[in-house]
Every structure is written in C-alpha cells, then in structure tokens.
C-alpha cells in the first residue's frame, strides 16, 4: 500500500509540473464489461412540462383530458382559450366519456356572432407546425340535449396571429347525445415561423348559434418514432437513440412512489385505450396523463434494443405513507401482476391481457427494482424488502431484484444481490471520487449507479437556486468531472453492472430541476456537454477491461482502457479536469498495433455550456492521431477524449 501511495503521489506531481505520465496497458483483460453498463434513467415527472407529457411522449396537447383538475377552476382550463366569445368551462360530466375521465369541456356557442367560434389549445408552451406533415387529431363529443344542429367543425393549426397553417373539417350531429369519437388528419400547407401556434376547434357562429356541446379526451399527434401509435416524439427519440443505450430504467424514481398511496404509479392504470387511463397527480405538483404507460415503455425498449430495468412500488409514498407489514399483500400481488404482464405466456391472465393490447410475445425482463431511494424510509424498508422479495424471488427466480438502499444501511434479509446508488454532487466531487468503487468488497454484490450528475459548484447548497452554484445546463467542467467518475465505473465494471445520468430531459421554458442531459422545447432538442460524454462512453463501450497504470487518486487526470474483441480495437478514455493540458505516454503491449487511430475530443472553457441560444458551442471533434506500441498524447485542458485504434 505504501508503494502504491508513493506512485500515486508521483503521478500527481508529474501532472502538476507538466511531465508526461506513462500509462502501461496490460494485454490480459481483468474482467468482461457488462453489456448493460451504459443506459438511460427516465423520470416522468421532473419538469412542469414533463419529460413524458410534452417531451418524449409525442402528444402535442396539454391538459388534453382535464385529468386531475377541479371542474370550474381557472386551473382546469390550463392551455385552453375561447375563440370569438365562446363560453368554455370544465365540468364534471353527468354522463362521462369513461369512468377514468369524469371531466369534460362544456362549450356554449353565443348568439349574435359572426365568423368562427370555438376554442384553442396552446400545447406545451407551443406547437411545432411543419408543412406537409400529417397531424392526427381526435376528440369525443356529445350534445347534452338533442338538437337539430347538423354541421361541420373545423380543426386547424394556427399561428398566434390567427394565420391558418392547415385545416380540415369533421361532421357533428346535434342528435348525438352519447359520446362519439371523431378523428381527422390535418396536413398544414404552410410552415410556422416559430412555435407559438395553437390547435383550434371552431364552428360557424350562425349555424351553431346557441348550441351547447361537451367535448372530452382530445389528442393531437405528429408522426412518431417508428410510426408507433401513441408513440415517441421523433427528434427526442433520435437524440436518445444516438446514445446507443443498453438499458432503460422506468417508470422513474419519485414518479413511481407518488406523494400518496393513491398517487403512486400503477401499471394497470396505464394500459389500454387513452380514454380508460385516469392519470394521476404527479409527485411534483401537476397531473400526469399516463399516456406513456407500461406497454409504451416496453415497446420503446424493443425499439432501441434496451434492457428494461423496471421499478415496482414497494409500499412507501413520498408524503410519508408506509404500508404496515400485515397490509402489504395486495401491493405485493400488484407487483407480481406487473411482472407477469411483462413476461408471462398468453395462457396466463396477465399474458393474455398483454396479448389483447397487441403484444402476445413476452417482453425481456432481467432486472426489477423494488421501490426507489428507500434510504428515505429505511426502517420500514427492512420488512417491505423482505416481504416483497420473498414472494417475488420465489415467483420469478430468474430475475435480479435491486435494493434501493446503500449496502447494509440497513442490513436486509434476504441479502440483496444488487443495489441502486444515487449521487448528485459538484464537478470536483466526481473526479475526486473516481475511485469510489475500487475499495468495495468483492462479495458477490453488484451495483447500479442509477442516478448521477454534477449539478452545482456549491457543495454547501447542492439543491439551491441557479446563481448560487446550481447549474442551469451542464458545463464542460461538470461533463469532465462526470467522465472521470465514469472511468472509475468502467474500471470497476466487475461489480458495477449499469450506470445512468439523471435527469434525462428538461423543458427549457418551465422546469423544476436543472441541469438535464437533454434540454428541449416545443420543436427543438439541445444536446449538453454531459450528453456528449455519455455518447462517447456508450458508443465506445468495449467488452473487456484492460488494466493499466492507475491514475492518481488525488490528481486531475483520469483514464480507462477497454478492448472490443470483435474488431480488435483498443479504446482509451481520458478525462482531464484541469485547466491546463496533460501529457501522456502510452505503452501498448500487443504485437500488432496500428500506427494511427481516431481521437474524439470534447473540450471547451470549463464554465461554458451548450444552451438554446448556442446549442453547438461544445461538440466532439474527431481527428486522426499517431498511435503505435508507444505513443504520446496531450490531453487538452477541460476535456474528454476517446482514442480508438487497432491492436492484436
């Protein structure tokens, strides 16, 4: 140990004085790298304009079904506005469109008007409108009392100034006193100059004068990723696909728990037709539609080739609810049903339900997380873990069940095989803890770094406001710090089987959490410095870890070396967290080493960020560099580098 510490001190000193650090690579792999190492954590409810609704989930209308709102309140009309004097209000329907959706939009067409009368929806801070793109619109309607009205409603996309960008008509009948769904496609003929556009439903004021009409369950979808109905927004989906993620953790952390028992995520309430999904009050103070439900998550995993890491509710809600041990039975059964929905054959009731929704083939499922961040309720987690896992492991012995408390804090029975750990810290904490897992006892336990991000430069106020150290967008310093930590995750991937930055998505107009891996608005996606680090690591994962000279534990320069055996590639990842360049000399002990390789370099001023006003300020630059059995590389200041070359 004394010799090791002396070597570490020497390396740190060499970096400080600008001397080249010699990194000798071992040709023999120490361990295989898990195929699941780099992936994504999805938290539905983290922004006012949600990561799901108004984000990854492609629905364009906000407050589309008046879910979890109080009829008659001003908040119930969020995103809705009257056109030309129409009287609109949210009511509790006497004959609701479904048991799940008790509310409706009541519209009275005034008398004595001319022109079009109706209402609009402004979406999630705007709607992107592109000429030639088909937008699929739908809603339910009924007349509270039968009338002689027989006419057309115009569905349109309009600019804020009232310019009609595209429209179509649908037929409404006053004799329709029971609910009827109307569907149509709007294909705009004009591009909108910005995102400040609305979806409008209007009627001719003279023809519809004095009519009362109720509407429910609106929807407006642009084309989706892979054309899936009720699917994902294309540009966000493509940005995530670029990361080549190997797993998808869902339905999130706090989004799973809910604030109360009633507000917890329940898989069965997220299935089937949208009109049968009640939604729920979200953990962060607003409603979730649950249009992005369990089967949509699973199909998304299929689309991107990701392993699902699925959470089940474990008897704790954030508001303080802890289900008593003798009352856990129904919730354990709900978890059993949830897992069976995913993997059971169609001869099982849950498998048959899945098949009825269009997916007879079982999905893949190897990992199930029991709860989320249960260190907040660790005392009750002792019996909750025991009761859940005793049943779940006996029912599904092939699945790995993940604990959400730190190892032995408290001690759990049965002893977990896997733990999910979370850390939000400063950029310097991350590079100073690049050896976090090196000293963990190898006792068979595996670890999932389920949430991590450098979020503030102020260690005394990590969760404070922007301007007090809290980052609005990831910086080059935060990305380099995370990359240093990730080299440690890769070095310790004999016990770390998965890792995911969090949170994933944040709307730039209105949000409650910063920073996020990807920022977005109504029509654009902004990739952060941290995004590019995740991409550089994930797309250059390798399958074997090669030991090398260790970085200094107290230094600012970090690296890891992996091998991709199928292509005989060596991949070296380097994080230089200092504001000066760092020289390295590599010694590669292979017989055949390419004389040149590729370097992907992400570098920039330490405090700089990619922002909506300058989204490509810091992006990776690829170049060819000389390599060989011995080669030199100068890691730029505040940078992350991935060097790839052939060696066999």
CATH topology of domain 246-416: TIM Barrel (3.20.20)
Which residues 6+ apart lie within 8 Å of 450 measured at CB?
A: 41, 249, 253, 309, 369, 420, 421, 422, 498, 499, 500, 502
Report whether CATH 2.60.120.260 matches the domain 80-221.
yes
| Band (286; pLDDT cuts 50, 70, 90) | confident
Question: Average pLDDT in the 20-42 region?
Answer: 97
What does each C-alpha distance from 32 to 25, 458, 613 come to in angstroms? 16, 37, 42
Q: Give the span between the Cα atoms of 310 and 307, in whole angstroms.
A: 9
The enclosing H or E element of 294 equals helix 294-304
Three-state DSSP at 531 gives helix
pLDDT in the model for residue 15: 52
pLDDT in the model for residue 282: 81
Where helices occur in 312-455 by DSSP H, the ranges are: 329-343, 349-356, 378-395, 427-432
pLDDT in the model for residue 582: 98
pLDDT at 3 over 50: no
Q: Give the span between the Cα atoms of 489 and 37, in whole angstroms.
A: 9
pLDDT in the model for residue 49: 46
pLDDT in the model for residue 7: 46
Q: Give the span between the Cα atoms of 84 and 63, in whole angstroms.
A: 21
Q: What is the pLDDT of residues 520-551, one digit of tens each?
A: 999 999 999 999 999 999 999 999 999 999 99
Q: Which of 215-219, 403-407, 505-509, 514-518 has the lowest mean pLDDT?
A: 505-509
CATH 2.60.120.260, the chain: domain bounds: 80-221
pLDDT in the model for residue 17: 54
Q: Which of 40-54, 84-98, 271-285, 485-499 has the lowest mean pLDDT?
A: 40-54
pLDDT in the model for residue 185: 98
Q: What is the pLDDT of residues 299-323, one digit of tens each?
A: 999 999 999 999 999 999 999 999 9
pLDDT at 4 over 80: no
User: What angle (nearest 5°) sits at the alpha carbon of residue 58, between those of residues 53 and 61?
Assistant: 65
CATH 2.60.40.1180, the chain: domain bounds: 19-30+440-497+538-647
Burial of 568: CB neighbours in 10 Å, binned 0-12, 13-18, 19+: middle
Residue 532 and residue 544 in contact, taking contact as beta carbons nearer than 8 Å: no
Distance of CA 475 to the CA centre of its chain: 20
pLDDT in the model for residue 579: 97
Q: What is the pLDDT of residues 188-213, one digit of tens each?
A: 999 999 999 999 999 999 999 999 99
CATH 3.20.20.80, the chain: domain bounds: 246-416
pLDDT at 45 over 70: no
pLDDT at 413 over 60: yes
The 3-class secondary structure across 136-189, one letter per residue, is EEEEEEECCCCCCCEEEEEEEEEECCCCEEEEEEEEEECCCCCCEEEEEEECCC
pLDDT at 9 over 90: no
pLDDT in the model for residue 51: 63
| Band (44; pLDDT cuts 50, 70, 90) | low
pLDDT at 216 over 80: yes
Q: What is the pLDDT of residues 369-388, one digit of tens each?
A: 999 999 999 999 999 999 99
Distance of CA 411 to the CA centre of its chain: 31
Task: Note the CATH architecture for domain 19-30+440-497+538-647.
Answer: Sandwich (2.60)
The 3-class secondary structure across 111-134, one letter per residue, is CCCCCEEEEEECECCECCCCCCCC
- Give percent of the chain with pLDDT exceeding 70: 96
Parallel/antiparallel/unpaired status of strands 80-83 and 116-121? antiparallel
pLDDT in the model for residue 510: 77
Give the mean pLDDT of the chain. Answer: 95
> Can you name the residues that pair with 197 across neighbouring β-strands?
159
Residue with the larger pLDDT of the pair 15 and 411: 411
Q: What is the pLDDT of residues 325-377, one digit of tens each?
A: 999 999 999 999 999 999 999 999 999 999 999 999 999 999 999 999 999 99
pLDDT in the model for residue 381: 98
Name residue, tokens 């619109």. 137
pLDDT in the model for residue 511: 78
Q: Which of 10-24, 465-479, 499-513 has the lowest mean pLDDT?
A: 10-24
């Amino acid at each position: 140990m004394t010799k090791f510490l002396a070597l570490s001190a020497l390396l740190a000193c060499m970096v400080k004085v600008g001397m080249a650090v010699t990194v000798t690579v071992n040709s023999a792999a120490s361990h295989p790298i898990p195929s699941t190492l780099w992936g994504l954590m999805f938290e539905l409810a983290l922004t006012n304009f949600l990561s799901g609704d108004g984000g990854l989930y492609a629905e364009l209308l906000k407050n589309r079904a008046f879910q979890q709102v109080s009829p008659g309140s001003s908040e119930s009309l969020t995103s809705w506005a009257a056109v030309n004097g129409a009287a609109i209000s949210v009511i509790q329907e006497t004959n609701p469109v479904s048991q799940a959706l008790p509310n409706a939009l009541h519209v009275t067409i005034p008398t004595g008007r001319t022109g079009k009368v109706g209402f609009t929806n402004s979406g999630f801070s705007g709607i992107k409108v592109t000429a030639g793109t088909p937008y699929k619109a739908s809603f339910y309607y009924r007349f509270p009392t039968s009338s002689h009205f027989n006419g057309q409603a115009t569905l349109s996309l309009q600019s804020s100034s009232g310019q009609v960008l595209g429209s179509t008509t649908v037929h409404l009948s006053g004799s329709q006193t029971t609910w009827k769904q109307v569907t149509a496609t709007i294909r705009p003929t004009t591009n909108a100059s910005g995102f400040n556009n609305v979806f409008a439903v209007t009627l001719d004021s003279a023809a519809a004068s004095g009519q009362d009409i109720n509407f429910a369950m609106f929807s407006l979808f642009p084309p989706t990723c892979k054309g899936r109905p009720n699917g994902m927004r294309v540009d966000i989906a493509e940005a995530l696909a670029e990361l080549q993620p190997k797993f998808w953790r869902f339905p999130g952390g706090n989004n799973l728990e809910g604030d109360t028992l009633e507000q917890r995520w329940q898989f069965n309430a997220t299935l089937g037709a949208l009109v049968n999904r009640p939604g729920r009050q979200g953990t962060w103070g607003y409603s979730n539609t649950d249009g992005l439900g369990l089967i949509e998550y699973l199909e998304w995993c299929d689309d991107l080739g990701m392993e699902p890491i699925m959470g089940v509710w474990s008897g704790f809600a954030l508001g303080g609810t802890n289900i008593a041990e003798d009352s856990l039975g129904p919730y354990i059964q709900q978890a059993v049903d949830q897992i069976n929905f995913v993997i059971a054959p169609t001869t099982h009731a849950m498998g048959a339900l899945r098949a009825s929704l269009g997916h007879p083939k079982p999905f893949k499922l190897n990992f199930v997380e029991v709860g989320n961040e249960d260190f907040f309720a660790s005392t009750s987690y002792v019996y909750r873990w025991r009761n859940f896992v005793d049943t779940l492991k006996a029912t599904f012995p092939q699945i790995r069940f993940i604990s959400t408390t730190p190892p032995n804090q408290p001690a759990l029975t049965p002893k977990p095989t896997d733990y999910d750990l979370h850390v939000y810290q400063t950029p310097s904490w991350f590079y100073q803890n690049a050896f976090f897992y090196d000293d963990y006892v190898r006792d068979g336990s595996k670890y999932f770094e389920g949430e991590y991000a450098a979020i503030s430069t102020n260690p005394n106020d990590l969760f404070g406001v922007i301007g007090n150290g809290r980052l609005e967008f990831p910086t080059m310093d935060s990305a380099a710090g995370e990359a240093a930590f990730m080299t440690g995750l890769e070095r310790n991937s004999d016990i770390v089987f998965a890792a995911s930055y969090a949170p994933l998505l944040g709307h730039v107009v209105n949000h409650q959490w910063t920073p996020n891996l990807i920022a977005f608005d109504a029509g654009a996606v902004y990739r952060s410095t941290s995004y590019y680090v995740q991409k550089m690591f994930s797309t250059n994962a390798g399958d074997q870890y090669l030991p090398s000279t260790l970085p200094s534990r107290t230094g600012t320069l970090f690296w890891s070396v992996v091998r991709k055996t199928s292509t005989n590639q060596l991949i070296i990842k380097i994080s230089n967290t200092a504001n000066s360049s760092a020289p390295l000399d590599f010694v590669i002990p292979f017989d055949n080493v390419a004389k040149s390789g590729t370097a992907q370099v992400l570098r920039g001023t330490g405090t700089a960020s990619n922002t909506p006003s300058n989204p490509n300020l810091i992006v990776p630059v690829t170049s060819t560099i000389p390599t060989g059995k011995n080669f030199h590389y100068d890691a730029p200041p505040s940078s992350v580098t991935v060097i790839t070359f052939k060696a066999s």
